Amino acid sequence: MASTIQVRVKDELKTKSDALFKKLGTDTASAIRIFLIQAIANNGFPFEKAEPEIRH
């Protein structure tokens, strides 16, 4: 059985992330699955959390 996760993001964020993951040979849905798997494996975020740099 599979579940669906829906997340609202700004159009620009989706466009940029779709392009990045395509360059990396995957898609956004697969990248999100990878994130979730790694979060479970690390028992937390699979990267160091830091304050985001805000770009205008």
Mean pLDDT for back-to-back runs of 10 residues, the chain (56 residues): 94 96 97 97 90 73
SS3 of the chain: helix, strand, coil, percent, to 5: 50, 0, 50
Structure token digits, residue 15: 């466009």
Contact 17, 31 (CB under 8 A): yes
Query: What pLDDT shows up at residue 56?
Result: 65
As a whole number of Å, the CA-based R_g of the chain is 13
Please tell me the predicted confidence (pLDDT) of residue 55: 74
Burial 37-47 (b: 16+ CB within 10 A, else e): eeeeeeeeeee
- Give residue 34's pLDDT: 97
> Look-up: residue for tokens 């805000």?
54
Whether this prediction's pTM lies above 0.95 is answered by no
